Protein backbone atom coordinates (compact mmCIF):
# COMPACT_ATOMS: atom_id res chain seq x y z
CA UNK A 1 0.00 0.00 0.00
CA UNK A 2 2.98 2.26 0.60
CA UNK A 3 3.89 2.39 -3.09
CA UNK A 4 0.30 3.33 -3.98
CA UNK A 5 0.46 6.14 -1.50
CA UNK A 6 3.75 7.40 -2.92
CA UNK A 7 2.33 7.49 -6.43
CA UNK A 8 -0.86 9.19 -5.27
CA UNK A 9 1.04 11.92 -3.45
CA UNK A 10 3.21 12.56 -6.46
CA UNK A 11 0.20 12.62 -8.78
CA UNK A 12 -1.59 15.10 -6.54
CA UNK A 13 1.38 17.35 -5.91
CA UNK A 14 2.55 17.53 -9.51
CA UNK A 15 -0.90 18.87 -10.39
CA UNK A 16 -1.17 21.07 -7.30
CA UNK A 17 -4.51 19.52 -6.43
CA UNK A 18 -3.87 19.29 -2.73
CA UNK A 19 -5.86 22.41 -1.90
CA UNK A 20 -9.06 20.92 -3.37
CA UNK A 21 -8.64 17.76 -1.33
CA UNK A 22 -10.28 18.74 1.93
CA UNK A 23 -10.94 15.75 4.17
CA UNK A 24 -14.66 16.37 3.81
CA UNK A 25 -14.52 16.32 0.01
CA UNK A 26 -12.42 13.18 0.06
CA UNK A 27 -15.02 11.49 2.30
CA UNK A 28 -17.72 12.70 -0.09
CA UNK A 29 -15.70 11.19 -2.94
CA UNK A 30 -15.35 7.81 -1.22
CA UNK A 31 -19.12 7.74 -0.84
CA UNK A 32 -19.79 8.71 -4.47
CA UNK A 33 -17.42 6.05 -5.77
CA UNK A 34 -18.96 3.45 -3.43
CA UNK A 35 -22.30 4.29 -5.05
CA UNK A 36 -20.83 3.75 -8.51
CA UNK A 37 -19.45 0.41 -7.35
CA UNK A 38 -22.87 -0.55 -6.00
CA UNK A 39 -24.52 0.42 -9.29
CA UNK A 40 -22.76 -2.52 -10.95
CA UNK A 41 -24.90 -4.84 -8.81
CA UNK A 42 -28.21 -2.97 -9.16
CA UNK A 43 -31.08 -5.24 -10.29
CA UNK A 44 -28.87 -8.32 -10.21
CA UNK A 45 -30.18 -11.21 -8.17
CA UNK A 46 -27.84 -12.17 -5.30
CA UNK A 47 -26.96 -15.38 -7.02
CA UNK A 48 -26.49 -14.12 -10.59
CA UNK A 49 -23.12 -15.14 -12.06
CA UNK A 50 -20.71 -12.28 -12.61
CA UNK A 51 -19.03 -12.13 -16.01
CA UNK A 52 -15.64 -10.75 -16.96
CA UNK A 53 -16.99 -7.41 -18.12
CA UNK A 54 -18.62 -6.72 -14.76
CA UNK A 55 -15.51 -7.96 -12.92
CA UNK A 56 -13.38 -5.52 -14.80
CA UNK A 57 -15.80 -2.68 -14.01
CA UNK A 58 -15.79 -3.71 -10.33
CA UNK A 59 -11.97 -3.59 -10.29
CA UNK A 60 -12.13 -0.12 -11.73
CA UNK A 61 -14.64 1.29 -9.26
CA UNK A 62 -13.08 -0.51 -6.30
CA UNK A 63 -9.79 1.15 -7.23
CA UNK A 64 -11.47 4.57 -7.12
CA UNK A 65 -12.85 3.88 -3.65
CA UNK A 66 -9.43 2.78 -2.40
CA UNK A 67 -7.59 5.74 -3.91
CA UNK A 68 -9.87 8.31 -2.29
CA UNK A 69 -9.74 6.39 0.97
CA UNK A 70 -5.95 6.47 0.90
CA UNK A 71 -5.90 10.20 0.15
CA UNK A 72 -8.33 10.90 2.97
CA UNK A 73 -6.22 8.92 5.43
CA UNK A 74 -3.05 10.56 4.16
CA UNK A 75 -4.54 14.00 4.80
CA UNK A 76 -5.32 13.06 8.38
CA UNK A 77 -2.08 11.14 9.07
CA UNK A 78 -3.96 7.89 9.45
CA UNK A 79 -2.16 4.65 8.62
CA UNK A 80 -5.00 2.85 6.83
CA UNK A 81 -3.32 -0.54 6.81
CA UNK A 82 -2.67 -0.35 10.54
CA UNK A 83 -6.26 0.79 11.17
CA UNK A 84 -7.51 -2.21 9.22
CA UNK A 85 -5.33 -4.61 11.22
CA UNK A 86 -6.67 -3.12 14.47
CA UNK A 87 -10.19 -3.53 13.21
CA UNK A 88 -9.68 -7.20 12.42
CA UNK A 89 -8.21 -7.75 15.89
CA UNK A 90 -11.22 -6.07 17.45
CA UNK A 91 -13.61 -8.15 15.36
CA UNK A 92 -11.82 -11.34 16.36
CA UNK A 93 -12.57 -10.52 19.99
CA UNK A 94 -16.08 -9.31 19.27
CA UNK A 95 -17.15 -12.35 17.30
CA UNK A 96 -15.64 -15.40 19.03
CA UNK A 97 -15.52 -18.37 16.71
CA UNK A 98 -17.65 -20.63 18.92
CA UNK A 99 -20.61 -18.27 19.20
CA UNK A 100 -20.38 -16.85 15.68
CA UNK A 101 -19.96 -19.97 13.57
CA UNK A 102 -22.27 -19.88 10.59
CA UNK A 103 -24.62 -17.38 12.15
CA UNK A 104 -25.84 -14.66 9.83
CA UNK A 105 -26.78 -11.71 11.88
CA UNK A 106 -28.11 -8.74 10.04
CA UNK A 107 -26.35 -5.55 11.06
CA UNK A 108 -23.36 -7.68 11.95
CA UNK A 109 -20.12 -5.90 11.20
CA UNK A 110 -18.45 -8.34 8.82
The CA angle 91-5-14, to the nearest 5 degrees, is: 155
Residue ranges in 63-102 that form contacts with a copy of itself under rule CB under 8 A: 63-69, 71-73, 76-78, 80-81, 83-88, 91-92, 95, 97, 100-102
Cβ contact 72:30 at 8 Å = yes
What's the min distance (Å) between Cβ of 103 and a copy of itself? 8
Q: Per-residue x/- marks for a copy of itself, 13-52, CB under 8 A?
A: -xxxx--x-xxxx-xxxxxxxxxxxxxxxxxxxxx--x--
What's the min distance (Å) between Cβ of 94 and a copy of itself? 11
Report which secondary-structure segment, H or E, holds 25. Answer: helix 23-39
What's the min distance (Å) between Cβ of 19 and a copy of itself? 8
Nearest alpha carbon to residue 87 among 64, 63, 62, 110: 110
- Residue 58 within binding range of a copy of itself, rule CB under 8 A: yes
Amino acid sequence: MESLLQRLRQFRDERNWSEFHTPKDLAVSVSIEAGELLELFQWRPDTAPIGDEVKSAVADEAADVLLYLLMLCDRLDIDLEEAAHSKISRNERRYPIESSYGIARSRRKF
